[in-house]
């Protein structure tokens, strides 16, 4: 593996039951309005939609942390409801990296007055085993 793309979402922006489909216990399921309604009712805080200032804060926090730990970020886009990052592997597991990036971004947002949750649990990962697949992931991220 020469790289990977990781994606994670903001809190409440992609709930179980969502019409776009959702993942439960490793299986992709179709949307379900009843489950979506129940999911919204269980939310502990409002859905997070990052504005342009917050997106810039998240981007800089992630890039600063990547530099600090020596991870090469090939592409990074912070959207209103999700983050896409393409990176080269480093000494930490992907799970540890995602946790690290979510945390530094959350703390940076809190310094600017954000309260409550920012991110959903979990993330999606796609592996790149050659330069061609890495380039395709980078191009995908850069189109967002």
Report the 10 Å Cβ neighbour count for 83: 26
Determine the average pLDDT of the residues in 86-91: 95
Closest C-alpha to 100, from 3, 6, 1: 6
Q: What angle do CA 109, 114, 117 make, to 5 degrees?
A: 90
**pLDDT tens, 96-121?**
999 999 999 999 999 999 988 999 98
- Average pLDDT value for the chain: 93
Structure pTM?
A: 0.89
Domain residue spans in the chain? Answer: 3-11+48-143
Query: In the predicted model, is pLDDT for residue 27 greater than 80?
Result: no
Q: Is 61 in contact with 104 (CB distance < 8 Å)? A: yes
Determine the average pLDDT of the residues in 72-81: 97
Cα separation, 73 vs 143, in Å, equals 16
3-11+48-143 maps to CATH 3.30.70.1290 = yes
**pLDDT tens, 127-143?**
999 999 999 999 999 98
């Amino acid at each position: 593996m020469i790289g990977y793309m990781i994606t994670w979402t903001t809190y409440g922006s992609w709930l179980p039951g969502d019409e776009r489909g959702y993942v439960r216990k490793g299986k992709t399921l179709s949307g379900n309005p009843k489950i979506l309604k129940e999911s919204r009712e269980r939310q502990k805080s409002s859905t997070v939609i990052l504005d342009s200032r917050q997106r810039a804060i998240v981007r800089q926090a992630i890039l600063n942390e990547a530099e600090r730990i020596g991870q090469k970020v090939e592409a990074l886009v912070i959207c209103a409801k999700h983050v896409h990052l393409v990176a080269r592997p480093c000494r930490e597991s992907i799970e540890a990296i995602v946790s690290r990036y979510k945390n530094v971004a959350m703390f940076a947002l809190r310094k600017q007055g954000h309260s409550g949750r920012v991110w959903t649990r979990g993330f999606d990962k796609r592996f790149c085993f050659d330069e061609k697949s890495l380039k395709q992931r980078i191009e995908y991220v850069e189109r967002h």
